[in-house]
């Protein structure tokens, strides 16, 4: 993953839930051509064969634009399809295992909900970034929203880059800009008829 920007967060793009490889390509290409993306994350949930097709497609599109690709949790699939790493959705538990399996150059991220303690554990275990969320109210996440002061504390105290995700709004983005390295956007735009226009309205 590229170095975090000092003055504004970088865009961390998440693929749509339930995506099919046959329709994903044009959507991803359009968004990634319109906006600079620091990292692309593939959401798990499809059948393994379909995820493999999505992984190959996403890798081809992203790597052509010098963008790293990670996938939710599936270490073996990441290795098999030449992805750049994994995004672990269960905190620090599997960070060391993923590092051992994927090697020192892989990107290992960890989603830690709103837990400062879990984030610190993930960082100590060698995560390349820690993700907190949801920032806004979202039925897609377990637990309480991650408060803005968590990002403030993290950015002032911990060197590991931090990603904000979950129910991002333009107002929240304004507050997160100075205290997060990356902001993850996905569900916020994919339900729109024109994801590029939706991202333009949100990210500006």
Residue 6 above 80 pLDDT? no
State residue 5's pLDDT score.
43
- pTM value is 0.95
The CA-atom distances, in angstroms, between 184 and each of 40, 46, 85 are 9, 20, 16
Residue 4 above 70 pLDDT? no
Domain definitions of the chain by residue range: 10-203
Query: Of 17-26, 62-71, 121-130, 193-202, where does mean pLDDT reach its minimum?
Result: 17-26
> What is the CATH code for 10-203?
3.20.20.70
State residue 142's pLDDT score.
80
Q: What would the mean pLDDT of 73-97 be, rounded to a whole number? A: 97
């Amino acid at each position: 993953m590229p170095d975090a920007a000092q003055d504004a967060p970088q865009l961390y793009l998440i693929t749509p839930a339930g995506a099919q490889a046959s329709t994903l390509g044009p959507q991803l290409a359009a968004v990634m051509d319109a906006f600079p993306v620091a990292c692309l994350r593939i959401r798990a949930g499809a059948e393994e064969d379909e995820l493999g097709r999505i992984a190959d497609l996403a890798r081809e599109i992203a790597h052509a634009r010098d963008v790293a690709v990670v996938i939710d949790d599936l270490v073996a699939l990441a290795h098999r399809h030449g992805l750049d790493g994994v995004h672990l959705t269960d905190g620090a538990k599997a960070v060391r295992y993923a590092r051992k399996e994927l090697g020192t150059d892989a990107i290992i991220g960890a989603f830690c909900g709103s837990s400062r303690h879990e984030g610190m554990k993930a960082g100590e275990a060698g995560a390349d970034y820690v993700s907190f969320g949801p920032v806004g109210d979202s039925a897609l996440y377990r637990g309480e929203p991650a408060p803005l002061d968590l990002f403030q504390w993290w950015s002032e105290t911990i060197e590991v880059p931090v990603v904000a995700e979950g129910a991002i709004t333009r107002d929240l983005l304004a507050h997160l800009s100075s205290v997060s390295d990356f902001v993850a956007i996905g569900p916020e735009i994919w339900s729109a008829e024109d994801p590029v226009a939706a991202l333009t309205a949100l990210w500006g």
